[in-house]
Amino acid sequence: MFWQESYSGGVVTITMIGVYSNNGTPIFSWVYPYVGDGYIIYLFLKPTMWGVNSNSNYSIPYAASNIYTTTISPVQGDVMFPQSSSQYLVIEWNPLWQYAYTADGAPGQWDVWVASNPHGPKAHVGPYPSPNLGYPYAGWDGIGSGYFQPNPGNYICITVSYNPNTNTLTGIAYDLNTGQSASFTLSLSNYFTPPLSGTYIFGIAGTNGAGQANWGVVYINYQE
C-alpha cells in the first residue's frame, strides 16, 4: 500500500496494526514451526514512472530481492524496491530472526536498507557491504533488541519514526496480545541525507511467504 504526503521537514512517524493467519504447513522444513517475513515500511520515495493512482495499480516498476535472486540479508523475505528518482528507506520487521537464523552482530529482528532505483528494473541496496554483518549482505540486518514469534490472530502494533534532525530511525514491533516487543534505534550518519521538504510517497507491505503466514493490515496512521 502506497500513499502520498506533503513533507515539511519534521519527524515522520508511521504506526500500523497488523495480524496474520497461518495458511497450512510451512513450505520449508527448516522454517517450521516459525513464521517470518513480517512487515515493511517505505519512507521518502519520489517516483517518476508511477504514482498513487489507478493507472499505476499492478504496474509499479520495481526490483525484487529474495533468497532466489539477490540475497541482501540472511533473513529478508521477498522485498520490493520500487522505482524512485531519489534514495529512500526500507525498514523490515522479520520475526524469523533469532528463531530460524542467528548471527554474531545481529541480536534483533529488524532490517534497514537505503535503496536507489531510478530506472525500475534494478535496485542498488546499501550500505554495501552490511555495516554489521559484512560481505555479501547489504544494509543493517537483524539489528535491535528483543524478539518474539506472534501467534496467528495476535494483533501486532508497529511504529517506525525518522528524525531528520539527528538522522535517526527508531522502530518497535509490539504484540498487543502478549506484551512482547522488538525494537531498534539506528543512526544513518553519512549513509542517508535527510530529505528536503516536498511531496513524497510512503508505503507499507506485508511480506507473505515464510511459514505460509498471510500478513494483513487493519490500521495505519501517518504523522509529522
What is the DSSP annotation of the chain?
-EEEEEE-SS-EEEEEEEEEEE-SS-SSTTTTT-----EEEEEEE--SS--SSGGGTT---EEEE-TTS---SSS--SEEEE-EEEEEEEEEE-TTBTTTB-BTTB-SSEEEEEEEESSSS--EEESSSBTTTBTT--SEEEESB----PPTT--EEEEEEEETTTTEEEEEEEETTT--EEEEEEE-TTTSPPPPSEEEEEEEEE---GGGEEEEEEEEEEE-
Q: Cell digits for 163?
A: 528524525
pLDDT of residue 220: 96
The amino acid at residue 159 is: T
pLDDT of residue 31: 46
Report the alpha-carbon distance of residue 2 to residue 224 in Å, rounded. 17
Q: Are 56 and 73 in contact (CB under 8 A)?
A: no
Q: Are 2 and 43 in contact (CB under 8 A)?
A: no
pLDDT of residue 211: 53
The 10s digit of each residue's pLDDT in 9-50 is 999 999 999 998 876 554 454 545 788 889 999 999 999 999
pLDDT of residue 66: 66
- The residue written with cell numbers 509529522 in the block is 224
The 10s digit of each residue's pLDDT in 62-89 is 998 865 556 899 998 889 999 999 999 9
The amino acid at residue 113 is: W
pLDDT of residue 209: 57
Which residues face 203 on adjacent strands? 2, 42
Report the alpha-carbon distance of residue 111 to residue 10 in Å, rounded. 23
**Total domain count for the chain?**
1
Q: Cell digits for 201?
A: 510517497
pLDDT of residue 208: 66
Residue 70, domain CATH: 2.60.120
Q: Residue 41 is part of which domain span?
A: 2-223
Whole-angstrom Cα Rg for the chain: 16
The model's pTM is 0.94
CB atoms within 10 A of CB 84: 25
